[in-house]
């Protein structure tokens, strides 16, 4: 089990969210969209040069800005 | 006694479509989150009662995290809970995410009725929901609907009165998600499907390489199709009407008009070689309708057709992801591309759409960029009409100049205005293929809007200009500004009239350049200046209303500065 940030997860891989760094507002926003500690998500793609990360959480496709993605810490299988 | 009905739901679940179905009021809907930025009211008749119904901006939860969500939540508190009904609209294809809000509504004691929308799409995607079971678990009415076709709407209205508050203990969000997981396990069955072409395209459009390639193809194709349809309408419909029908009848009228006095000047304008020239006569009955209907309207139709198609398919949020990088350099984030694209139709809805951006700083940057560097369809149509005959090189040149101005301006504004660019967090909708009726309705709605806004101002504007010219009232402005216009920008002093008119409407202003017999360089400078200088009065007012007087003054000073710099640079350096 490795703990890595969402930006370091390879596209196409899955991971379980174990921690969301950052302020209450960002945590809340992610929580409302269904991304919270314990949730399993899959990374679909990552636009280079500090671009957004696209993930699949449940049936939703979400785009997270690079700064947000950095703060989502995952446990990779 | 129900006093008010609220429509609430996550962004992009089709609330506005349900609202249109219930009230018959046509409202704008698209396939991306945040089309509705303010609440919209209408009326629904149940029996012989007329009840006010409010379409709230999309929200993921009752603990608001953005200003649009705050609006939604504060409105729910206007009436006592037993006087309202809340219709909670859910996207059947994504039940899990939508249920958080539903649980919150029930826990807070709102009389709620659940509307499982997009049921047809769910079936297509192999999502099966047991509605009876969901009703049993939630203990409130659940109705499956497809608002685009109208399925289930009647049942929704019939069962409205069954919405009753029920008691359910308050949970934390973590506990709610657990509960939702349990509910989903019981009511939802997913059919295993192979990747469809639609899903392959959905994935490809958010990957860096395939995404950029698709974006390039889509933007290029859109541009080509807009031009093709626009030119088709002009050559097959509007030009024949103007040249074979309007011109002969107007000319017949002028033969009987002995005295070419004030009214002749006002209505017909100048005769060119004894004939009416729609591009040069400048009369209320000649050039004004030709500009609006013969040059601008065809492109308005073709532009909004393509834009509406891209909107409803759900492509725009994907473009937002790809451009997020670039937009960050300008102090915005990717989502700002949507107001910018709307601005290409008309700056006013573009600036209104900046409401979906988070901070005041972002809104100011976006609005300034839109009003300076984003030419609206009428202006673009006229630039094509004016410069197109000298070759695509010059037309492309205007776009290149504007793009460069936007990039430099955004870069500077991002550095100069204290603050930060907020982070991007956006839900990407699946591709959906809108029924042609929906698309046609939206197009009709937008074109009607354009005609109502544009035609009176264009007619009135030309009337006013002609009166001023007739009584030589422009001479003063012309002679005062001649040094700037002539020495700095290399334009004849008559061009100042066009620049002043640009404040009323851009298309008429470019039209004013037509009879001046300008060289291609002068036309290029004139068209570019008209694009970047003061926005038309409607845009002016909307910036004032949306961002306040101070922002308007700041934006205006920036515009004047840029106009002078760009105008003289073009004249002295680039186009020598």
**B259 phi and psi angles, rounded to 5 deg:** -85, 115
Edge-first strand order for the sheet with A53-57 is: A2-5, A72-76, A14-20, A40-46, A53-57, A60-64, B425-428
Q: How confident is the model at residue B576 (pLDDT cuts 50, 70, 90)?
A: low
Do A52 and B211 make contact, defined as CB atoms within 8 angstroms?
A: no
pLDDT at position B64 over 80: no
Separation of alpha carbons B541 and B323, rounded Å: 29
Q: Which of A37, A39, A59 sits opposite B94 (nearest CB)?
A: A59
The size of the A-B interface in CB pairs under 8 A is 107
- Give the max Cα distance, chain B: 87
**How far apart, in Å, are the Cα atoms of B84 and each of B2, B88, B105, B115?**
5, 13, 13, 16
- pLDDT (tens digit, 9 = 90+) per residue, B260-289? 788 888 888 888 888 888 888 888 888 889
**What are the beta bridge partners of residue B116?**
B90, B144
Do A46 and B208 make contact, defined as CB atoms within 8 angstroms?
A: yes
- Could you tell me the two tokens for B504? 């009323």
3-state secondary structure B170-210: CCCHHHHHHHHHHHHHHHEEECCCCCCHHHHHHHHCCCHHH
Q: Which of B28-37, B79-88, B98-107, B427-436 has the lowest mean pLDDT?
A: B28-37
Please check whether residue A68 touches B, CB under 8 A: yes
Q: Which helix (H) or strand (E) holds B316?
A: helix B316-329
Edge-first strand order for the sheet with B142-144 is: B40-46, B49-55, B4-9, B84-91, B112-117, B142-144
- DSSP for B345-379 reads H-HHHHHHHGGGSSSHHHHHHHHHHHHHH---HHH
Cβ within 8 Å of residue B417, ≥6 positions away: B331, B361, B364, B365
pLDDT at position B112 over 90: yes
Cβ within 8 Å of residue B199, ≥6 positions away: none
- Comparing alpha-carbon positions, the chain B residue that sits nearest to A51 is B325
Backbone angle region of A48, left / alpha / beta, with phi > 0 → left and psi within -120 to 50 → alpha: beta
- Burial status of residue B80 (CB atoms within 10 A of its CB: 0-12, 13-18, 19 or more): exposed
Separation of alpha carbons A56 and A63, rounded Å: 9
Separation of alpha carbons B60 and B223, rounded Å: 35
Residue the block writes with tokens 């402005």: B477
Separation of alpha carbons B326 and B534, rounded Å: 26
Residue A5: per-residue pLDDT: 92
Q: What percent of chain B has pLDDT over 90?
A: 37
What is the value of ipTM here, to two decimals? Answer: 0.92
Q: What is the pTM of this model?
A: 0.87
Residue the block writes with tokens 């334009």: B491
Please, are residues B461 and B508 in contact by the beta-carbon 8 Å criterion?
A: yes
pLDDT at position B34 over 70: no
Do A67 and B322 make contact, defined as CB atoms within 8 angstroms?
A: no
Identify all chain B residues contacting A29, using CB atoms and an 8 Å cutoff: 60, 65, 425
Please, are residues B333 and B422 in contact by the beta-carbon 8 Å criterion?
A: yes
Q: Can you tell me the mean pLDDT for B37-49? A: 78
Of B352, B345, B346, B323, give the one whose Cα is nearest residue B335. Answer: B323
Closest-CA distance, B15 to chain A, in angstroms, reads: 18
Identify all chain B residues contacting A12, using CB atoms and an 8 Å cutoff: none
Q: Which of residues 4-33 of A touch B (CB under 8 A)?
A: 11, 25-26, 28-33
Q: Can you tell me the mean pLDDT for B466-472? A: 84
Do A54 and B321 make contact, defined as CB atoms within 8 angstroms?
A: yes
Identify all chain B residues contacting A51, using CB atoms and an 8 Å cutoff: 208, 321-322, 324-325
Separation of alpha carbons B495 and B99, rounded Å: 61
Residue the block writes with tokens 């949507």: B338
CA end-to-end distance (rounded Å), chain B:
75
What sign does the CA torsion over B455, B384, B399, B566 have?
negative
Please check whether residue B378 touches A, CB under 8 A: no
What sign does the CA torsion over A52, A57, A62, A68 have?
negative
CA end-to-end distance (rounded Å), chain A:
6
- Burial status of residue B542 (CB atoms within 10 A of its CB: 0-12, 13-18, 19 or more): buried
pLDDT at position B87 over 80: yes
- Comparing alpha-carbon positions, the chain A residue that sits nearest to B122 is A59
Q: Can you tell me the mean pLDDT for B236-253? A: 91
Q: Which residues in chain A show pLDDT less than 50?
A: none
- Comparing alpha-carbon positions, the chain B residue that sits nearest to A70 is B423
Cβ within 8 Å of residue B344, ≥6 positions away: B303, B307, B350, B374, B375, B376, B377, B380
Identify all chain A residues contacting B60, using CB atoms and an 8 Å cutoff: 29, 32-33
Q: How confident is the model at residue B142 (pLDDT cuts 50, 70, 90)?
A: very high
Do B206 and A64 make contact, defined as CB atoms within 8 angstroms?
A: no
Q: How confident is the model at residue B502 (pLDDT cuts 50, 70, 90)?
A: confident
Please check whether residue B250 touches A, CB under 8 A: no
- Give CB contacts under 8 A, 24+ apart, made by B221-229: B222/B306, B222/B310, B225/B302, B225/B306, B226/B299, B226/B302, B226/B303, B226/B306, B227/B302, B227/B384, B228/B302, B229/B298, B229/B301, B229/B302, B229/B305
Which of B70, B210, B321 has the highest number of chain A CBs within 10 A, making it the mutation to test binding with A? Answer: B321
């Amino acid at each position: 089990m490795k703990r890595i940030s969402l930006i370091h997860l390879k596209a196409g891989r899955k991971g379980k969210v174990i921690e969301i760094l950052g302020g209450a507002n960002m945590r809340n926003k992610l929580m409302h969209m269904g991304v919270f500690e314990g949730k399993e998500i899959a990374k679909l793609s990552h636009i280079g040069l500090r671009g957004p990360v696209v993930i699949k959480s449940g049936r939703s496709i979400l785009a997270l800005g690079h700064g947000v993605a950095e703060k989502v810490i995952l446990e990779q299988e | 006694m129900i006093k008010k009905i609220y429509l609430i739901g996550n962004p992009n679940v089709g609330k506005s479509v349900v609202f249109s179905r219930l009230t018959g009021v046509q409202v704008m809907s698209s396939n991306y989150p945040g089309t509705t930025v303010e609440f919209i009211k209408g009326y629904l008749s149940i029996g012989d009662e007329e009840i006010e119904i409010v379409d709230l901006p999309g929200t993921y939860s009752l603990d608001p995290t953005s200003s649009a969500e705050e609006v939604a939540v504060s409105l729910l508190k206007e009436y006592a809970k037993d006087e309202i009904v809340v219709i909670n609209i859910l996207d059947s294809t994504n039940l899990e995410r939508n249920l958080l809000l539903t649980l919150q509504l029930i826990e807070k004691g709102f009389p709620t009725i659940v509307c499982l929308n997009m049921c047809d799409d769910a079936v297509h995607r192999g999502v099966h929901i047991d509605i009876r079971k969901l009703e049993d678990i939630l203990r409130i009415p659940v109705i499956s609907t497809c608002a685009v076709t109208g399925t289930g709407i009647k049942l929704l209205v019939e069962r409205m009165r069954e919405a009753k508050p029920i008691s359910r203990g308050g949970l934390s969000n973590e506990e709610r998600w657990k509960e939702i997981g349990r509910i989903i396990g019981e009511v939802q069955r997913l059919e295993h499907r192979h990747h469809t072409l639609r899903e392959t395209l959905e994935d490809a459009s958010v990957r860096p390489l395939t995404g950029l390639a698709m974006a390039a193809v889509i933007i290029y194709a859109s541009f080509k199709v807009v031009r093709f349809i626009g030119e088709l309408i002009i050559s097959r419909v509007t030009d024949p009407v103007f040249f074979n029908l309007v011109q002969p009848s107007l000319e017949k009228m002028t033969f009987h008009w002995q005295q070419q006095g004030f009214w002749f000047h006002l209505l017909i304008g100048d005769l060119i070689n004894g004939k009416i020239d729609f591009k040069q006569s400048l009369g209320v009955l000649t050039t004004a309708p030709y500009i609006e209907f013969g040059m601008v309207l065809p492109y308005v139709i073709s532009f909004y057709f393509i834009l509406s198609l891209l909107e409803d398919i759900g492509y725009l949020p994907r473009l937002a992801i790809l451009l997020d990088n670039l937009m960050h350099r300008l102090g915005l984030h990717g989502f700002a591309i949507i107001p910018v694209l709307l601005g290409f139709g008309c700056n006013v809805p573009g600036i209104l759409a900046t409401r979906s951006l988070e901070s005041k700083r972002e809104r100011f940057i976006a609005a300034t960029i839109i009003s300076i560097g984003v030419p609206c369809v009428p202006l673009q149509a006229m630039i094509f009409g004016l410069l197109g005959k000298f070759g695509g090189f010059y037309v492309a040149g205007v776009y290149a100049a504007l793009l460069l101005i936007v990039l430099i301006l955004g870069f500077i504004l991002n550095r100069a205005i204290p603050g930060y660019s907020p982070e991007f967090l956006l839900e990407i909708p699946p591709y959906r293929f809108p029924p042609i009726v929906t698309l046609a309705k939206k197009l009709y709605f937008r074109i009607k809007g354009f005609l109502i806004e544009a035609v009176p101002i264009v007619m009135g504007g030309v009337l006013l200009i002609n009166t001023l010219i007739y009584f030589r009232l422009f001479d003063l402005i012309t002679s005062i500004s001649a040094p700037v216009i002539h020495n700095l920008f290399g334009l004849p002093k008559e061009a100042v009239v066009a620049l002043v008119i640009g404040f009323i409407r851009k298309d008429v202003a470019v039209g004013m350049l037509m009879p001046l017999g300008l060289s291609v360089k002068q036309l290029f400078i004139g068209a570019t200046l008209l694009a970047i200088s003061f926005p038309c009065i409607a845009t002016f007012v909307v910036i004032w209303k949306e961002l306040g007087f101070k922002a308007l003054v700041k934006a205006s000073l920036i515009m004047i500065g840029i106009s002078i710099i760009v105008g003289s640079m073009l004249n002295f350096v680039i186009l020598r």
